Structure 1
Amino acid sequence: MSTPPVENVASPPAKGEESKFPWVALLALATAAFVGILTEALPAGMLPEMSASLAVSESAMGQALTVYAIASAVTAIPLFALTATWRRKPLLLGAIAVIALSNLVTAISPDYLLTMVFRFLGGVAAGLIWALLVEYARRLAPPHLQGRAIAVTMGGVPLALSLGIPVGTFLSGIFDWRTTFLLVTLLGVVLLAWVLASVPDHRGRRGTAQASVMRAFTSPGVIAVLFVVAAYVLAHNILYTYIATFLIEYDMGGSISLVLLIFGIASMVSILVVGAQVDRRLRMLTIASTVLFAVGTTLLAVFAESGPLVLLAAALWGLGWGGITTLMQTAVTDAGGDAAQALLVTTWNGFMAAGGAVGGILLEVFGPRSFPWSVLLLLVPVLIVVVVGRRHAFPAQRPGMAP
């Protein structure tokens, strides 16, 4: 198996420290992931209130999510190249500060255009955070625990989706949407202090960042991993973005919150399982995640009239989705090194944004019943690529792990 060496300019752990797991620092990084995703998706639960306040249509206000995702996608690689030699901690602190500023301006802005400009800036900062988090997690943990460190760090993503957004929507109902964004701003300020106190600094990378990204792109296995990311994220976002529309089609509009709650709980279970096993079972877990998502989607396609089976489908979907961030981050870094993270961020956010657009086309042309069938069409090639990519992309044994 041929994989490029992972850049690691940090000092190796001192003797006797290999077994220590840096929980405090990793949880700070997980909170950064939580804040980044929460900032991106929070408007989804408050579109009517935000659109009324800023005097625009709900569809126009919905672009607050799209512009954030696109900003992360199109700026990740250029920012990775520009900041390659910079110290990592000031860079991370600066990105968190920009996201906090984006939320503050969103909370107080009376103007739609101003809001969208700062949403874009927030997305740029989030793209930089995604490129930094896995690199940081790998540097903080000993080699045999790097997969677990990535799992802890990326655990903030499903937590934001499963708990943060519903709680934010609930708070906006008690107070208002502007107060909710102010609370997220406060969380960002607390996070700045946490990172400042607990996360160590590291040097940037040596060499040419552009060459590193190109070398990562051409490394064996990277393209296969990026394909899986693209198809998996597109499939998930087609269904997740329009799950309410799909359920209403089958007279289950009253069960939307329950379906999303079960999906969120299952996602957290997936994160825990993947985090405990990813270092030794990345290939098996990726195949299992894809199969679980496909089985859940099949239930939605065939048995959507049955309430209990829909709830089972949501649980299987969550089990298949929750750990995929950790699996793909680990796989792409194993195959292409830290530079591959910028490629993953671009792919992930680009196809996340595409999910809403593709889903909208499917809705207009074929109706909501087409969603699960479309997802299945995307998951079939995903499973094929994972099974075939056993040498470089999804090996049975990760590089550097003892058999």
Structure 2
Amino acid sequence: MTAKLPYGGLLALFTAAFTAVLTELLPAGLLPEMSRGLRVSEGRVGFLVTGYAAASFLAAIPLTAALRGLRRRPVLVGAIAGFALCNAVTALSTSYPLTFGARLLAGVMGGTMWAMLAGHAARMVPAERRGRALAVVLAGITVALSFGIPAATASAAFLGWRATFAAVAALALVLVVWVSRYVPDFPGEPAASRVPPHRIAALPGIRAVLAITLLLLLGHQVMYTYLAPFSERAGFGRTGVVLFVFGAATVVGIWSVGALIDRHPRATLLAALGLLTASMPALGLYGGTPPVLLTAVAVWGVAFGGAPTLLQTALIRISGPGDADVATSLQTTVYNAGIAAGSLAGGLVLETAGGGAGALPWTALPLFAAALATVAAARRYAFPGRRRDGGRITAWAGSSPGGSD
């Protein structure tokens, strides 16, 4: 009999992911309002997002390693409380330096929390249900991007940007109570049993998952960051519609992966990366036709929506739940590096390539193709074929002959 998922706790972690994404990306949706309120340029408001990402990038691995010996739930609650404090300071501050400092602290909280979420969810459920549990938790990212950010941006037009940040701070406070009540606690790792981060990074398969994560985010950010100019070049100026189609499609993707991940993990990831790869030539060749543009963006969204969950599940399968926090901190660092480098690469292509925005899909295509080829080759450790025991998949462990990581 299949055990039921602990939805009370998993939905609390879902909301934590949702809150973290809102905290990180809200300034990008509120550039004009925050620019006027803080009396700085929109570019300097944009640096509030950059500062958050940089702090998260720098803090994830060392802070995760330093906190490994502490009980897990208090650390998670502390990170969420940090979000509440940082968003409250942002809502009240009239000083740009103070606001920037709050954003740096929020980035540190984000780097700590992202390293914990997947491992905590994995320890809450039996091994055969980990994929489904992770899909529930990481859906918080998708819902925040698809609906949370647009809704918060729209509400700021009526309530003001400060009220929006205050609402996110209040949500984090509610979440502190929710996590304390419904998310189980787990002990920290005794010093004698802790595996050093460099040894976890050296586990067979870890580097393949991290490489695919980097390639995926590079290709995605090349296109997603500059979707507005690409849509305008294609003659479809309603960027909001294109973004909504992408966001709604990611919800379909995360739902589909949740249904398949525990039974067909390798095949599902290959299919997702195959769809991503196929959508880029469609955008490059026929993106000027609105029906093709929207269809290709929807395919891209479905494929991308589930890919991070598939990769994080593979990472935890390799490291084991006990070392998942450190393994995930490595992925968090790579993830943020991919976001920054992909956005930079897309901007350089946009400014220097003869085709302008039309060159973006062709820039993303080889990155997605390389990710697909890496998964196809990484059969032994990172992405083995499924294994059955009495007609039921018990784990991903075990591999088919051939291939290497």
Is the shorter-chain TM-score for this pair beyond 0.5, marking a shared fold? yes
Moved more, 26-35 or 41-50: 41-50
Contact 2:135 2:309 in 1 (8 A): yes
Structure 2 residue 67 is matched with structure 1 residue 83? yes
Q: State the SS of the aligned residue for 1:348.
A: helix
> Among residues 394, 397, 401, which one is paired with 2:395 in the alignment?
401
Report 1:67-78 matches (<5 A): 67-78=51-62
Tell me the equivalent position of 1:193: 177
Aligned: 1:135 with 2:119: yes
Contact 2:233 2:288 in 1 (8 A): no
Deviation at 1:213, TM superposition (A): 1.5
* 1:345 counterpart residue number: 332
TM-score of the aligned structures, taking structure 2 as reference length: 0.92
Shift of 1:207: 3.6
CA distance in 2, matches of 1:246, 1:52: 28
- Are 2:92 and 1:120 equivalent residues in the alignment? no
1:268 to 216, 239, 251: 251
Is 1:384 aligned with 2:363?
Answer: no
1:31 paired residue number: 15
Distance 2:129 2:298 in 1: 28
**Would the alpha carbon gap of residues 292 and 269 (structure 1) be closer, same or farther in structure 2, given more than 3 Å must change?**
same
CA contact (8 A) 1:31 1:191 kept: yes
Contact 1:28 1:195 in 2 (8 A): yes
Fraction of identical pairs, as percent: 42
How many aligned residue pairs are there?
386
Return the letter of the residue paired with 2:3: S
Moved over 6 A (4+): none
Residue 374 to residue 209, structure 1, CA distance change in 2 (3 Å): farther
Alignment map for 1:228-307 (pairs within 5 Å):
228-253=212-237, 255-307=238-290
SS in 1 for 2:264: helix
1:401 corresponds to which letter in structure 2? A
SS at match of 1:195: helix
Q: Are 2:359 and 1:370 equivalent residues in the alignment?
A: yes
Deviation at 1:317, TM superposition (A): 0.8
Please report how far the alpha carbon of residue 312 of structure 1 lies from its aligned counterpart in structure 2 after TM superposition. Answer: 0.2
Deviations 1:39-64 (A, max 9, x none): 11111211111122222222221111
Partner residue of 2:401?
none
For normalisation by structure 1, the TM-score amounts to: 0.92
Gaps of 5+ in 1: 1-15
Residues 222-257 of structure 1 show CA distances to partners (whole Å, capped at 9, x for unaligned) of: 11110100010111112111111211222322x211
Report the CA distance between 1:210 and its aligned residue. Answer: 7.3
Give the Cα separation in 1 of the matches to 2:134 and 2:330: 17
The structure-2 alpha-carbon separation of the partners of 1:394 and 1:98, relative to structure 1 and needing over 3 Å to count, comes to same
Q: CA contact under 8 A between 2:12 and 2:175: conserved in structure 1?
A: yes
Aligned Cα root-mean-square deviation (Å)? 1.7
* Secondary structure of 1:369's aligned partner: helix
**Whole-angstrom CA distance in 1 between matches of 2:179 and 2:79:** 12
Q: How far apart are the structure 1 equivalents of 2:158 and 2:7? A: 34
Q: 1:278 corresponds to which letter in structure 2?
A: I
Higher RCO (Cα < 8 Å, 6 or more apart): 1
Matched position secondary structure for 1:279: coil
Residue 206 of structure 2 is matched in structure 1 by: 222
Q: Is the 1:147–1:275 Cα contact (8 Å) retained in structure 2?
A: yes
